[in-house]
Structure 1
Amino acid sequence: MISIVAYNPRWPAVFASLRDGLVGPLRGLASHIEHVGSTAVPGLAAKDVIDLTAVVPSLDHLPAVIGRLAPLGYSHEGDLGVTGRHAFTTPAGAPAHHLYVCAHDNPDFARVLAFRDYLRTHPDTARAYAELKYFLADRFRDDRAGYTAAKSAFISRIVTTAMDAGDS
């Protein structure tokens, strides 16, 4: 079931805790770890799941990343249909989150950041996105693919606006 909840002011702290637990194991591999997705936008309603992306110089580092994350309970899931972005399972007992790894020059990651940063600086657009998410979560209650597809036009429009304006 898709469940959208009001913004939780604890989300940045949960992200920081997750990030801090990954910095040491990924030292020398990941240049930084970004908080992405709706939980990264202050005030935005979201699924109660933190999305974070570890950024590496190239995917040549992926085998080493997989090796360092395994002892922490993360298992590599592949790209899950998103070329250049690799997903990992959430370790048992950890806060709900999605960990991804991608190269710094991944064009899809640039779009993710553009969308996040635009919503952070345009609260009216963020409110419109929240309203859309609530509506679609109700409409596509048990259809994650339908929910995601229904958001795509809105997201694409905002990404294009953000990248054209240089707001990313």
Structure 2
Amino acid sequence: MDEIIIVESDPHWQTQFVEEATNVRKALGNALTVAIEHIGSTAIPGLAAKPIIDLLVGVHSLELAQNAISALEAIEYVYWAEDPRPGRMFFVKGMPPFGRQRTHHLHMVELTSEFWEERLLFRNYLRSHPDQVQRYEVLKRCLANHFKSDREAYTQGKTEYVQSIVAKARQSIDSYKFL
């Protein structure tokens, strides 16, 4: 079973991200990989989270990135070809049905994509707004208790909140443009 478990914030998550980003960059090479960012709840200091490190890998072309599947499989990522979200290649390291706990999610997107922009806006806004971190944690814990083994429902339950934060972050950026 792939149960949703929220744990207290761990200062080692940043180190785990750096180590894994190094492994991913070695596997993919600099020609394909333009940037790798730490996203998701483990990228926000002080926020309780599922202990899964999310890597956002920016590439120039998802079409060319199709050639990277075997390189990521070689470092134990499983490609989810049926991912319903367009404009992204999604990989998981550690697959519970095979007796392993999830440890990493890798989201490969084009640098110009909305997915890239929104994930960084969300992360950066929460990093600078501790009051929102507390609100988000309460929501996550509530959803995890309610949807203990339903990842899709858990994720869907966060959507409205995430969208509201992205909108606030965009508004914040827009207000600086006029200064």
TM-score by length of 2: 0.85
CA distance 1:119–1:73, shift in 2 (3 Å): same
Q: What's the CA shift for 1:132?
A: 1.0
Q: What's the CA shift for 1:142?
A: 2.3
Instruction: State the AA in 1 paired with 2:17.
Output: F
CA contact (8 A) 2:109 2:115 kept: no
1:110 aligns with 2:113: no
Among 106, 119, 130, the alignment partner of 2:126 is 119
Among 114, 128, 153, the alignment partner of 2:160 is 153
Instruction: State the AA in 2 paired with 1:3.
Output: I
Instruction: State the AA in 2 paired with 1:115.
Output: F
State the superposition RMSD in angstroms: 2.0
1:13 aligns with 2:26: no
Whole-angstrom distance in 2 between the partners of 1:62 and 1:165: 33
Q: Percent sequence identity over matched residues?
A: 36
Deviations, residues 120-156 of structure 1 (Å, cap 9, x unaligned):
0101101110111111111222222222222111111
CA contact (8 A) 1:78 1:86 kept: yes
CA contact (8 A) 1:4 1:48 kept: yes
- The secondary structure found in structure 2 opposite 1:158 is helix
Instruction: State the AA in 2 paired with 1:130.
Output: E
Among 62, 80, 91, the alignment partner of 1:88 is 91
Map of 1:139 onto structure 2: 146
Paired residue total:
167
1:129 aligns with 2:136: yes
CA contact (8 A) 1:50 1:97 kept: yes
Structure 1 stretches of 4+ with a deviation exceeding 4 A read: 91-95
Whole-angstrom distance in 1 between the partners of 2:134 and 2:148: 20
Map of 2:37 onto structure 1: 34
Unaligned residue ranges in structure 1 (runs of 5+): none
- The secondary structure found in structure 1 opposite 2:55 is strand
Whole-angstrom distance in 2 between the partners of 1:101 and 1:124: 30
Unaligned residue ranges in structure 2 (runs of 5+): 175-179
The more displaced of 142-151 and 129-138 is: 142-151
CA distance 1:160–1:144, shift in 2 (3 Å): same
CA distance 1:91–1:123, shift in 2 (3 Å): same
Map of 2:169 onto structure 1: 162
Whole-angstrom distance in 2 between the partners of 1:118 and 1:15: 19
CA contact (8 A) 1:72 1:91 kept: no
Map of 2:177 onto structure 1: none
TM-score by length of 1: 0.90
